[in-house]
Structure 1
Amino acid sequence: MDETNPLLRSWADQPFHLPPFAAIKVEHFKPAFEIAMKSHVNDLKQIAQSEVVDFDSILAAYDRAGGQLSKVYSVYGNYTSSLNTPDLQEVQTEMAPILSRHNSNTYTIPGLFEKFEKIHEMKDAKMESGEWTAEQGRFAERVYAEYSDIQATLAGLQTKFMQNVLKDEETWELVLTEKDMEGCPPDVIASAKQAARDRKKEDPNAHVITLSRSAVEPFLSYCKRRDLRKKVFDAFSSRGELSEERNNLPIAVEMLRLRKKQAALHGKESFSEYQFEDTMAQTPEAGMKLLNNVWTKAKDAADRERALLEAYIADSGETLDGGIKPHDWRYYAEKVRVAKFNFDENEMKPYFSLDAVTKAVFDVSNQLYGLKYIKRDDVPMYHPDVNLYEVRKSTGENGEDRLVALFIHDNFARSYKSSGAWMSEYRTQTKNLAPGTPKIEQIPIVSNNNNFAKGSESTLLSFDDGVTLFHEMGHGHHGMLSDCTYEYLASTNVLKDFVELPSQLMEHWLGEPQVLKKHARHYKSGDVIPDEMVSRFKAAELFNEGFATIEYTCCAMLDIALHSLTEYGDDFDLADFEQKYLQEIGMPKGIIMRHRPPHFLHLFASSSYASGYYVYMWAQVLDNDVFAAFEETGDVFDPNTAEKCRKCIYSAGNTEPPQDLFRRFRGREPDVSFMLKNRGLIPK
């Protein structure tokens, strides 16, 4: 082992065995990967050559194999998302095919699959005799399925696709004056000034709008100038094709063709058929059935909303050339929200500072699952804006708290950080440690990443921003509360249409009255948010839900339709397919896809959500049903329901099929009506 490389040496001298962030440099990654990949292959060869064929010698050893590579990759993966500087992007481009080949090679080590096959053959007998636990049986089944179902590698194309979007977001900007910002609330103006400083504009009065969603959507909602809204919207909706040298459409088409070949190797007509096989939904038809059910109701709601916008415009004496366009919808929706419901979302922002919402999410986490968050300012992180917390839980013995996780909170948008919000891990929970390994390495290290526009005085969030923070904490719970023996089955390593249930479930608590009364406090005065403001917010909450549902659902439908094609000819035109498909399903006027193909990272930055973007809607059916179980007790913090939820939703990982876990929690199959009612798509 190269003790001079901080990625390879032991991290036992670091607090909690965290990565040595202060010592890690970009040039460390490539040599670390070279050594760690060799170590991983050696681990797998030892398993393949093992004369003993039992669970511990084969599967438990496989779960631990490549531990050094996992350490290196955990830092690398987080850095390429959160701190992807130009020099790291060069390493990423170089390493993508190398890491891809390594991944492919691990599936072809002579004798390895045969060992997994023998283990799989003995599974039923071992389960019937009671020699294996249910978790061990599940592990044997999942590994056998993985090795007989090898994923084709698309890493190089995926990396290029992601970097093109990132580069567009890094380089495009609209420099404005304060007068140009007319109509925007103070926090949006302050964020634009901060962005100008971050981009080193010499003019002290410059304001900059970037292509970060947290900058774009508020600007579209409040800027009075239609021409500027159009300029920002056009750039935002064209990410991934803003320049000819970074055009992502040909890259996406190449990936589609490779995925089709991958599906054919497994006897499937389309990638959708192949991808759906290992999901709760099972078939593309089942996923599309749910989406079509929602689509028809959402179109009706969006049409009603457009009529309200048009009526407002007419009453105001305005005329819009060409009618309501996508760059107009958010602006006039805010006008109608104020006029019809006497509610302006900006009224709430002073009560939703980042500090207040963070305290709220920690408090909800504590009330539901007993987790306590202790900030550690003394441990160096990879960026000054990043916070580290010890996560502790009472053992019930002598009132002592035990460390259950480490939580990293990275909340602000910045250069070289991917857009959006996500949860990742530096260390996944496991009990399957090699002999002599310190127990601290069972403890997960979970990271939540958001992209809030940093304020100069205080960072104020919209309610939707607050929901995003709660959403990511739900994923965080999935990692921190994981209680599995094997890393392979732990945390978020679940079927893709179950993985969003833990996150979307957590969103429900932010709007609960007792949470708002306790934590929604004015960032200057400390006053509690007024009851009448909350009442007006609740009355207006579902307004524009048709628009939001259309924005998402059309993306999920196009995703399945695109991956259900059985061929992509030489003349296949992805932009033309997008236009014709949206016309075919009756896309409402004035709305476009939330994620268009050239920047649809869920589909083309990896294969995880390809023909799987529907999972957010599928999970909404589940999360609304699960939250209804709390509501039915009369207490959304009911301890018995929370404990049952912890066991069935958050702690179990992939140790059991997710449909079994849901049935154990709810006692029945999921009911779609809770989701439709809560989205205002059918009467309550």
Structure 2
Amino acid sequence: MTNPLLGEWNTPFAIAPFDRIEDADFAPALETALTLARAEVLAIAEDPEAPTFPNTIEALEASGKTLDRVLSVFFTVAGADSNPERQALQRDFAPRLAAYSSWLFAQKALFARIETLWDRREELELTAEQARVLMLTHRSFKRHGAALGGEAEARLGAIMARLAELGTAFTQNLLADEAGWHLELAEADLEGLPDFVIRGAREAGREKGLERPVITLSRSLIVPFLQFSPRRDLRERAFAAWVSRGANGGETDNREIAAETLALRAERAKLLGYDSFADFKLETEMAKTPGAVRDLLMQVWAPAKRQADRDAEVLTAMMHKDGVNGDLAPWDWRYYAEKRRQAEHDLDEAELKPYLQLDRMIEAAFACANRLFGLEFKPVQVPLYHPDCRAWEVTRDGAHVAVFIGDYFARGSKRSGAWCSAMRGQAKFPEKQGPVVINVCNFAKGDPALLSYDDARTLFHEFGHALHQMLSDVTYESVSGTSVARDFVELPSQLYEHWLEVPEVLAEFATHSETGAPMPQALLQKVLDAASFDMGFQTVEYVASALVDLSFHEGAPPADPMARQAAVLDEIGMPEAITMRHATPQFAHVFAGDGYSSGYYSYMWSEVMDADAFASFEEAGGPFDPERARALEQHILSRGGSADAEALYLAFRGQMPGVEALLKGRGLTA
């Protein structure tokens, strides 16, 4: 075939031939792939043979592979290297893919075959993984309305199509607001900024074709600007732009999209027989109920708010001492917190950052994976979608494990945040395939590229997700890698962050960008001592976002999400000088798709486990204890979603944890 998306990929490791793919290839490839996928599904549904696990469930597992390949390529470039044509394709594809999903789950003959197998499951002599796949398939069809008929079925299809459109619009509006704003700085405006911020601002200006340095809404640039700029007026302007993304009026305003999304989700849940969307969404998670989520969040909220209130008093006094009267504002917090950190811990991020070179932190992540799991990483030349990307072959004992791709730098064509995705998941059926895994970040460019400590933690976090994909060892792709409960998926990623804080790791890989000297022991100790600094602020901004998300999806949907947001924050006593980490109009976790809707809490649910899991290493032989590493791979990283998440954690640890380790790790126990 002439379309490179549809032909054989005769490339190293069968990577997508990005060097031959053009935007014009996507629409015809999708059309062909959808036609083929429908034919494969109908062949299963209309099979005259009695349903069996191989001719129904395994046949479904083997179907849709061409569609998967086309979409994996498209959504990779649409998220990480967007352009107007790709955005138009996204808007076109969203309802078509929703329609295909609705069509699939409406196949009554297919669902009848699955129901028959489910009813006879005790007779089928399935393996544990096969039984799990059957359960998940049956549950997925029911949760997508397979048991509905008539008007309810048609309405659910319409809802899903509209939700797909809204999620795409929300994402593109946010990208437009982020790409469309920058703050030009005169040379005098650079006073007080450390060299790494100035270099980042100059690079951002060059990317926009400007001669002056600029501050953009990339987190890796705006956050350090808010930390270090002594110009309160400029901090206020930058912060106002940061928090108003998606709420600037006009075509890119996301507030009405959020309201319609919440209403449609509530209607979807009612059609499927649930009291609320939160009840529907949490049924399949570890938490199970909205009440369990709220209990966890409130256990953490109270000590976090106490700490944040104490910190606010200290920062306000510092601000008044500077001659700035009035109340501490949100654009003041990071600036005075940074000054406080320098004073109390003698830790200056400008002093720290030269020791956190991007390339050395990548080496550190790889080295920890080698010591823990025996993985080795070799740079390889393969087709990639952007010059910033690089790739490595991952091996163990000489055998191929995976391909890992890193796309680390911020650019206007990339949506904000950081994420991990698999262009191809691990599987042994219908044939053995190794995963192709991508980490995408938004770090400021530089020569060399230098990271903040938070950036370095993000790198380790996303690489933890990548390890979950790379070390997967299951039969069926539908349960491989990160195909797990949402409040379990963050366990491997947040757990891996702990290895960045291991002193011997920093001692080896935190080397100065100019001299090559290792981080001095005194500075290393300051970093470790300050690990829980300002954790009241960080916890409050996160938990507030999680509580607003939960409130949105409990009970009747709010006609005005912004009013509901304000009411929730008022009810919990949100400190005036702290804002939600993600206000509603930019809350992509919740509104860009269903992924984290009613599920933003999951980072904290997983953190309860990750604190406990790392403690198990410390209680054993230390952070690189080989027995604990084997147990982590055997019971969690290799298993994907092939078993219940709680059962996997119990197999690894022997018991479920409480919040004590989390509060201790965040320094919120006093």
Please give the TM-score of this superposition, normalised by the length of structure 2.
0.96
Shift of 1:317: 4.2
Aligned to 1:397: none
Q: Residue 444 of structure 1 is aligned with which of 435, 440, 449?
A: 435
Quote the Cα distance in structure 1 between the aligned partners of 2:522 and 2:246: 44
2:315 is the counterpart of 1:318: no
Aligned to 1:425: 422
Amino acid at match of 2:491: L
Quote the Cα distance in structure 2 between the aligned partners of 1:67 and 1:260: 32
Moved more, 149-158 or 603-612: 149-158
Aligned to 1:335: 339
Tell me if structure 2 keeps the 8 A contact 1:520–1:528: yes
The secondary structure found in structure 1 opposite 2:439 is strand
List per-residue Cα deviations over 1:198-235 (Å, max 9, x = no partner).
0001x3xx011111111110000001111100101001
Q: Where do 1:297-446 residues align within 5 Å?
A: 297-314=303-320, 316-320=321-325, 322-376=326-380, 378-394=381-397, 401-433=398-430, 439=432, 442-446=433-437
Give the paired residue count. Answer: 654
Shift of 1:38: 0.8
Q: Where do 1:276-287 residues align within 5 Å?
A: 276-287=282-293
Shift of 1:432: 0.5
Shift of 1:589: 2.1
Aligned to 1:665: 652
Q: Residue 236 of structure 1 is aligned with which of 242, 260, 265?
A: 242
Quote the Cα distance in structure 2 between the aligned partners of 1:575 and 1:454: 35
Shift of 1:567: 4.1
Tell me if structure 1 keeps the 8 A contact 2:507–2:524: no
2:257 is the counterpart of 1:251: yes
Tell me if structure 1 keeps the 8 A contact 2:15–2:382: no
The secondary structure found in structure 2 opposite 1:448 is strand
Aligned to 2:183: 174
2:168 is the counterpart of 1:159: yes
Amino acid at match of 2:645: P
2:272 is the counterpart of 1:275: no
Moved more, 609-618 or 537-546: 537-546
Q: Residue 23 of structure 1 is aligned with which of 17, 20, 25?
A: 20
Quote the Cα distance in structure 1 between the aligned partners of 2:494 and 2:52: 39
Q: Residue 77 of structure 2 is aligned with which of 71, 79, 101?
A: 79
Quote the Cα distance in structure 2 between the aligned partners of 1:420 and 1:481: 24
Tell me if structure 2 keeps the 8 A contact 1:220–1:327: yes
Aligned to 2:487: 497
List per-residue Cα deviations over 1:527-551 (Å, max 9, x = no partner).
1101111122222222210000001
List per-residue Cα deviations over 1:545-583 (Å, max 9, x = no partner).
000000100000111011113244xxx222222112111
List per-residue Cα deviations over 1:115-166 (Å, max 9, x = no partner).
111111121233xxxx211000001000000001107511100000000000
Q: Where do 1:78-97 residues align within 5 Å?
A: 78-97=76-95
Identity %: 43
Aligned to 1:523: 513
Tell me if structure 2 keeps the 8 A contact 1:6–1:23: yes
Shift of 1:110: 3.7
Amino acid at match of 2:304: A
The secondary structure found in structure 1 opposite 2:143 is coil
**Structure 2: runs of 5+ lacking an equivalent:** 146-158
Amino acid at match of 1:87: E
Shift of 1:273: 1.2
The secondary structure found in structure 2 opposite 1:451 is strand
Quote the Cα distance in structure 2 between the aligned partners of 1:94 and 1:485: 34
Tell me if structure 1 keeps the 8 A contact 2:426–2:474: yes
Quote the Cα distance in structure 2 between the aligned partners of 1:447 and 1:564: 34
Aligned to 2:664: 677
Quote the Cα distance in structure 2 between the aligned partners of 1:408 and 1:341: 37
Shift of 1:179: 1.4
2:288 is the counterpart of 1:291: no
Shift of 1:27: 0.9
Quote the Cα distance in structure 2 between the aligned partners of 1:148 and 1:578: 32
The secondary structure found in structure 2 opposite 1:406 is strand
List per-residue Cα deviations over 1:328-367 (Å, max 9, x = no partner).
0000001111112211122111110001101100000111
Amino acid at match of 1:8: L
Aligned to 1:616: 603
Quote the Cα distance in structure 2 between the aligned partners of 1:420 and 1:30: 27
**Structure 1: runs of 5+ lacking an equivalent:** 395-400
Aligned to 1:209: 215
Shift of 1:381: 1.1
The secondary structure found in structure 2 opposite 1:22 is coil
Aligned to 1:636: 623
List per-residue Cα deviations over 1:85-117 (Å, max 9, x = no partner).
111111111111111111111111241101111
Aligned to 1:105: 103
Quote the Cα distance in structure 1 between the aligned partners of 2:596 and 2:481: 18
Please give the TM-score of this superposition, normalised by the length of structure 1.
0.94
Q: Residue 458 of structure 1 is aligned with which of 427, 440, 448?
A: 448
Amino acid at match of 1:381: L
The secondary structure found in structure 1 opposite 2:26 is helix
The secondary structure found in structure 2 opposite 1:21 is coil
Q: Residue 581 of structure 2 is aligned with which of 581, 586, 594?
A: 594
